[in-house]
Amino acid sequence: MSEGSLIRSWIAFLPVSLGLFMVLLDVSVLNVAMPKIAEDFNAKMSDLQWILNSYTLTMVVLLVIAGRIGDMYRRDRLFILGMVIFTASSFLCAQSWSIESLVFFRVIQAVGGTILSANTLAIAVELFPPGRRGTVMGLNSILMASSFTLGPIIGGWLTTHLSWHWVFYINVPIGIISVIAAWFTIPPLGAKERMPIDYLGAAILALALGSLTLGIIEGQNWGWSDEKTLACFVISIPYLVAFALREATYEYPLLDLSLFKIRNFTVGCLATSILFFGMSASIFVIPYFLQGIKSLTAEEAGYWMLAMPIMNTFVSPIAGRLSDRMNPKYLMCFGPLLFSFGMLNLMDLKVEVSYWEFFAMLVPLGIGNGMLISPSFNVMMASIPLKKAGVANGTLRSVNTLAQAMGIAVGGVLLTSKMKEWIPGYGNQIPDPGTMNLLSLLAISGNSAPLIEMVEGFMDSFKFVFSIMIWLPVLASLVIFVFLSSEEHLNSMRAKNF
């Protein structure tokens, strides 16, 4: 690849990176704003889970479809379409007047986000030759880490000084710039293969995952033995079985099961999903500790959460480059163990924790995450044929996103189930700023019992969630150590560089 071609490829990848940055920024910005959304809409834990999971579940169902469409048509134009949808729906989210309207607009936003996410890595694979992709994956990780670094700061500042609506408005100018830049810089990326899209399979998967998630989230309100909760679980099982059977027998399946015959793709997909599940279940509860229990503003909470993304920013690009030059198994095994060590630190969290003590607790999480994710994506994408890049990207994102959605659902269930042991008649109310201010006023007037119950109940439940999830990174490390073929990846890199 000539120097001129390489420069043109980097210029073309800039708007793609900007689009990915916007999608990722939306996640981290929204996390900090959730306590204020809960306060404004008087939302329960289950309501907040739906705000997050309506987005992630939509992505799970559509990611592979979006990746496959990218393989069948011009990926550059599809990317621009996704950017337009995401930008417009972000504006609609900012206009939401209720939890229900916000959930609905988040579904539309997820359609645009899905198109962007499903094609980013595939575009990188088309623009850059094998020997250059480790650097691109490192840049991809920098963007992920930078969005998570800036997200809490931007989201906290906007929420504190303007309102939570602005965490969505911020996407509009970024989206417009990215659309214009993409139109003029990304070269035509033609079709790789054409085949029918399994829309029936997608519908079956949507029914299965929707029923399962409904049962997990609303079971907190209905009761686990309630007939509605049980019905959701019962309904989801045959649909999951039907989806599996269709994928195994249909000529053009939604999920290309042949990808899972590729050892390194399967191992990386499994390991990252395990980590994403544990990370989502545990990190989900931190903003409520900071803004509820610690009584920080959203802006202050953003600064308190900086350690993890800052460490990720430094480690990810280095790990991405090293994964093409050394045995990636070392990085990918040690990373989850560091993450688990960070979770162990958080199990000793005290209400009186200082900023720098909390910062130090989060450092291993950021380093561990960076050491696994960037090398894993590089190893997985290097193991699949170029013509399958889109569907592989979509499959990977689908599995990881499903793990995140299930993690949020299960994390919320673990938290609320433990809090019910502390607070009689607990109704899944979370310690958002409004609730904690009300309880503080009651304490000042002489009735401190509700405040003490909420603080002690939340802290015990917080640590309970981490005590369960701490084992998942260890499991991810074990999967990589036993099953990953590092020699296969290194041999592939050497062959492609000569």
Domain ranges of the chain: 3-188+254-497, 198-253
Query: What is the pLDDT at residue 498?
Result: 43
Residue 305, both tokens: 């959460």
Asked if 185 and 15 count as a contact pair (C-beta separation under 8 A), the reply is: yes
Query: What is the pLDDT at residue 259?
Result: 80
For residue 278, give the nearest of 374, 365, 397, 392 by alpha carbon.
365
Per-residue CA distances from 387 to 67, 198, 219, 495 (Å): 11, 18, 43, 19
For the stretch 190-218, pLDDT in tens is 655 666 777 788 888 888 877 887 777 77
Burial 383-415 (b: 16+ CB within 10 A, else e): bbeeebbbbbbbbbbbbbbbbbbbbbbbbbbbb
For residue 53, give the nearest of 416, 410, 408, 398 by alpha carbon.
408
Q: What is the CATH number of domain 3-188+254-497?
A: 1.20.1250.20
Count CB atoms within 10 A of the CB of residue 268: 29
As a dihedral over the C-alpha atoms of residue 3, residue 377, residue 22, residue 193, rounded to 10 degrees, the angle is 80
pTM above 0.75, yes or no: no
Q: CA–CA separation, 22 vs 199, rounded Å?
A: 28
Query: What is the pLDDT at residue 389?
Result: 67
Taken in order 164, 117, 286, 206, the sign of the CA dihedral is: positive
Residue 304, both tokens: 């308190």
Which parts of the chain register pLDDT below 50? 498
